[in-house]
Amino acid sequence: MRSSLALAFSWGPAALVPNPAMAAEPAVRAVGYDNVHIRVLDPAKAAEWYVAALGAKVSEPPASGTAQVTFGAVVVTIVKGSTIEPSTGTLIDHIGLSYRDLDAAVKRAEAAGAKVTSAPRESPGIFRYAYIEDPWGVRIEMVEDTERLGFHHVHLRVKDPAATLAWYERQLGGEPAKLRGRLDGVRFDGVWVFAMSSGAEQPTPPTAIQLVAFRVNDVDASVKALTAAGVKTTAEPRSLPALRYGFVEDPNGIRVEIVRRTLVP
């Protein structure tokens, strides 16, 4: 089974050619990566599982009918679904969590009911990694990256990885960088967004992992600036007691939440 890291290295030289247009000021400069939404059969049970199996911390949910856990300042909002639909192979293929002791973390997750789909192994020149699947179909890459512990990355599966990363840089101010000097991505306050190629296949819409989200200082101004830059707005800004948010869409059809929180986790 080829890892997403291996797939990422197959993008080819064209993905590494600098684009002078990327030097322009982004439409919005996000101040950090904010959250993912995952869809499960039982949000409360899933929150307990993420605490026991993966070391998350419980947080007050933003709305009734949901649950919420955090990994540092990054939020996992857990919403109710009616079926189990694995994230593997979809536009949002998996999330990444980083631990000091990968072997112990994988054993803890497996003992709690995670399915280990790829045992711990070395990605030469990068770090050790493994893949698990939670009981609701969310694919999780567990890595041993002491430079970034906790919530580590989101990995997209798209037709054009280079163009996708450029979009997150140009529209949201992601910092272009290479993980260990080898893997292209963009960073938002230390959290990585990676993109792998879906090859000839058309990736399916997000399922178990529903969206990506970025934290900003002003939601209304950010959505307005993105709209002016030609980005599709799918939900105008609105408020919940602890946050204000709106939704736009990236070129692949991925739902992108723009968030300002009253209380940062």
Give the amino acid at 36. V
Alpha carbon distance, N-terminus to C-terminus of the chain? 36
Contact 114, 53 (CB under 8 A): yes
Give the per-residue pLDDT at 16.
39
Give the per-residue pLDDT at 262.
84
- CATH code for 4-261? 3.10.180.10
CA distance 153 to 1: 21
Q: What is the pLDDT of residues 69-80, one digit of tens each?
A: 999 999 999 999
- Reported for 123-130, long-range contacts at CB under 8 A and 24+ positions apart, including other chains, are 123/3, 123/5, 123/6, 125/180, 125/181, 125/182, 126/5, 126/179, 126/180, 126/182, 126/183, 127/180, 128/102, 129/3, 129/5, 129/102, 130/102, 130/106
Tell me the domain boundaries of the chain.
4-261
Give the per-residue pLDDT at 264.
67
Give the per-residue pLDDT at 23.
61
Residue 79, token pair as written in the block: 């919403």
Give the per-residue pLDDT at 4.
47
How do strand 243-249 and strand 191-197 relate by DSSP bridges?
Answer: unpaired
Which residues of the chain are under the pLDDT cut of 70?
1-23, 264-265
The reported pTM is 0.89
Residue 186, token pair as written in the block: 């963009």
